[in-house]
Amino acid sequence: MQQEGLNESLIQECEQIVLTEFSSFRKQLKLCYEDQLSLFGSCRHHFEEGKDASIIQGALTRNDFSSSRHGNFSEYSTTESDEFEKQDGGDLTCEDESTFFDAADYFIEPNGRSSAMLSSTSCGEGLLDIQMEDSSHLLPQIKRRSKLPEPTEKERGISLWSIIKDSVGKDLTRVCLPVYFNEPLSSLQKGFEDLEYSHLLDQAYQYGKMGNSLMRILKVAAFAVSGYASSVARPCKPFNPLLGETYEADFPERGVRFFAEKVSHHPMLIACHCEGKGWKFWGDSNLKSKFWGQSIQVDPIGVLTVEFDDGEIFQWSKVTTTIHNLILGKLYCSHHGTMHIKGNRQYSCKLKFKEPSLLDRNPHLVQGFVEDDDGNKPSFLIGKWDENMYYSNLDTSKVKSVDQLKGALLLWEKNKPSPNPTRYNLSSFAITLNELSPDLQDKLPPTDSRLRPDQRHLENGEYEKANAEKLRLERRQRMSSKLQDNGWKPRWFQKDGEDGTYRFKGGYWEAREHGQWDDCLDIFGEFSET
């Protein structure tokens, strides 16, 4: 145009037209992308069940990608997407186009779930950024076991009535329940099991980084619920840790590193600390239980905290758990109560875990909403604590299931059950928690749960040895009160004030690197009462 002798103002006007058209094209591209995300999400069961791809292709062909269907996407638009249209778009090369359309290759996550349903109604390009920034392929790939060892002994049935009969007139604190009632995990390891879906916190960090605070708290809420998913049909109780017992979980393939310690015997307190990609998670827990004859009600005491690297913090406490049919009927547990997730910035969240009833046709229901500082409710949640969680901009309090809600999008979905089931009904993730390789054994302190002999014998199916070791260690456990009264202090945690939370002091991973465990007690060894 300059060569043709046109004036500068006309050239600038033409340039502005080109930029406007380019911005409009990118906007249409974004809407098309969001439509395809929703479509992949709605058809994900076809992928999972391996159905004919022609079903999906036909759905894609029939789908109308009109922008009129996107009115509900505007509410959660991020400032990032708004600012994009003000910037110089540059040239859209063929390479850029292929990069976008090849993004479908990123839709299936390593665990086999379609990440389309993890999309935000805020903007497709935001999710695309998260997918492109995902560096999971750069993390080390570690092969972990997929099943427990084959039992070396044949398991014998245990009668609860015979235990009660034999315990009549005895001090119940000195009655040792058979190891049959335990699963080969400690309560410390169960604490890490709550982080099976830690990728939700990774996503929350990324959303906050992009300025989408609403999606951040929705992901945190989904994470808080996901910790209950593994409790379904778990008939056995975890081992009660000894005072000073620890557990580490180094999962570089997930980008997380977890550590827990039993910090008090009376009251029984467990403290934990976990570091992830852009976030930290910590807390301590105590349990108050009430026995009602046919059931036990367990009320957790303690605060769980997630802090992101940008300073945003969320805190919540767990809801009540009730274990039903202790004497007669099939044993099962339920979770009920209200969970308040409090944030230190714009948003907080309230979740209601529905209490079960005899006539309840929709058990395990969880409903809630996100609320800002002005009392507005920009988003609502609905789902089941053992299946999935969805969110919507429509009020979910008047519906009984997500099927009755149009336009709800998936936040979290439970992983498929283990292909190698055990009588403990452990998930694929839980099966890996007590794995002990020779290389790892050389690095662990003598207090780690993997070295606990009764738990190891139980996992190997050596029931007689497991019972004998459990009896020996429970006798030793009774010495813990004297140990605590004599001024014993946790090795790796310290309390924030008189009534504060136990916080990780640090130093564990450095000691592990150098193998410096001289000041760690041999809590699983022999002892003398003198």
Q: So what's the pLDDT on residue 142?
A: 85
CA distances from 58 to 36, 53, 101 (A): 13, 9, 18
CA distances from 394 to 308, 351, 381, 389 (A): 28, 16, 9, 15
Q: Which residues contact 410 (CB under 8 A, 6 or more apart)?
A: 41, 117, 118, 388, 389, 390
User: Cα dihedral sign for 115, 120, 121, 126?
Assistant: negative
Q: So what's the pLDDT on residue 28?
A: 79
457 is written with which tokens?
């014998």
Q: So what's the pLDDT on residue 243?
A: 93
Check residue 503 and report its DSSP letter: E
Dihedral (C-alpha) 44, 50, 54, 55: value to the nearest 10 degrees?
A: -40
User: Cα dihedral sign for 377, 378, 382, 388?
Assistant: negative
List per-block mean pLDDT (blocks of 10 residues) for the chain, which spans 530 residues. Answer: 81 85 80 68 50 46 41 37 41 38 36 38 41 54 90 70 54 63 95 97 96 97 97 90 96 96 92 97 88 82 96 97 82 92 97 84 90 96 96 90 88 95 93 95 96 96 93 83 83 86 95 93 73
Residue appearing with tokens 């600038």:
12
Phi and psi, residue 492, nearest 5°: -120, -5
Q: So what's the pLDDT on residue 450?
A: 98
Q: So what's the pLDDT on residue 428?
A: 96
- Strands annotated E in 344-492: 347-353, 365-372, 379-384, 388-392, 409-413
Q: So what's the pLDDT on residue 496?
A: 85
Q: So what's the pLDDT on residue 18?
A: 86
2 is written with which tokens?
């300059």
Q: Are strands 182-186 and 237-239 parallel, antiparallel or unpaired?
A: parallel
Q: So what's the pLDDT on residue 303?
A: 94
Phi-psi region of 169 (alpha: psi -120 to 50; beta: other; left: phi over 0): left
**Stretch (H or E) spanning 187:** helix 187-193
Cis peptide before 267 (omega within 30 of 0): yes
Identity of residue 136: S
- What is 182-508's CATH topology? Porin (2.40.160)
CA distances from 175 to 31, 428, 478, 489, 512 (A): 65, 33, 12, 28, 37
